[in-house]
Amino acid sequence: MNALTTLRIALRAILRSPLRSLLMLLGVAVGIAALIAIASVGEATRRETLEQFKRMVGTFDVVNISPGGARTRGMPSLTTVEPTLTFADAEAIRGGIPNVRRLATEQSAFDIDIQYRDRTATSSVWGVSADWMDIRGDEATVGRGISAEDNASVARVVVIGPDVRTALFPDEDPIGKTLRIAEVPFEVVGVLAPRGAGPGGSSLDNLMLMPVTTASKRLFNRDYLTGVTVQLQDPSKFDAARDAITILLRERHGIIPPVEDNFTISNPRAAVESVEAVGSTLSSILTGVGAIATLIGGVVIMTLMLMAVAERRREIGVRRALGATQRDVLRQFLAESAVIACLGGILGVVAGVAIAAVVAAQRNLPPVLLWQVMLGAVGVSALIGIVFGLQPAWRAARVDPIEALRA
């Protein structure tokens, strides 16, 4: 008996027992749907997390230096950090450390009152050097950014984020207008491109940039920094750059180990890898749950097929009496379980994609279709049908035709 005939007989047998076939199909579909949904949502979450970090830090080929030791927590601001990182430290790093491509300095403060005419709001204020926007990949969609000339002249100019524009200039062009930051007037020269939300869900667009010299001398009256960002020429040499900067700052600050450093050096990629490691562990656990559900579907197929063998003994006896061999019966029952499992796999893929799309829409995640995973899921479902259908098929093939006809 050829494969096409075997398949036709198997399909007829499946259609004769629709309820049993449906239960076996659903048993596989639930497990496959779980696997597809978990894989798709997990990948979408990973990509969105990576994108959020990129929006927040701009690039990963950098060394971030902040004041305070390893026990320092939270976003650095002028009101929370120790005054241990100076402009002179930044210049020493720029001139004394190899592998430095660009260097940016910053002073940051949060919840600063701003005003334009009768409109008021609060925003974070960042005093930055000219290279800060280039390192982070920021750009002005309207107007311009902060330049070296602005820093040299201590200009009272500001580049505002989209949230600030919405709050203060909802119906007019902000370029050239004068707003007040903590009662100090600043001219708006640019509007930043939107960045969206950060990893914590807070907006990255409620900010203003000004020259770091202006922030230091005309607004905050502070001569220390909240951060230095060093972009490397060769990111693979991060460890060497970190060690060189550590030695330099220890010498400048008079720190001799085991005295704790009064600065912290980090790399954004390390934080991303930590988040991805946690996400990978959770995804592995959930994938294991989906795999168990798939195996349960295989057990359902085996159980119901064994019941089918017991109920169809007379049918098996008739087929054997008409000339069917043990191999023919074995192939027929294997074909039935494989076809049902494949159909369950296809249904599971469709359901999994639908579930993933709904979850992604609810969590504002990018839709992700993992074609290799979907094709693999169908293959796995077929394998489950064969593996878990083998015992019932073997039992069906060994039915004694004479005993079966007497039953």
Q: Could you tell me the sign of the dihedral formed by the alpha carbons of 383, 385, 388, 393, in that order?
A: negative
Of residues 81, 357, 45, 50, the one with CA closest to residue 198: 50
The residue extents of the domains of the chain are 3-53+272-406, 61-266
Residues 358, 12: Cα–Cα separation, whole Å: 36
Using a 10 angstrom Cβ sphere, with 0-12 exposed, 13-18 middle and 19 or more buried, the burial of residue 71 is exposed
Tokens, residue 229: 């960002």
Tokens, residue 72: 């320092």
DSSP secondary structure letter of residue 349: H
pLDDT values of the chain reduced to their tens digit, one per residue, 407 residues: 566 776 776 677 777 777 887 888 888 888 888 888 888 887 787 777 777 666 666 667 888 899 987 666 667 778 788 889 999 999 999 998 988 999 999 999 998 999 999 999 999 999 999 999 888 888 899 999 999 999 999 999 999 999 999 999 999 999 999 999 988 999 999 999 988 766 555 778 899 999 999 999 999 999 999 999 999 998 888 889 999 999 999 999 999 888 888 898 887 766 666 666 655 666 677 667 767 777 777 777 788 777 777 766 677 666 666 666 777 777 777 788 888 888 888 888 899 889 888 888 887 777 777 777 788 878 888 888 777 777 777 777 666 666 655 55
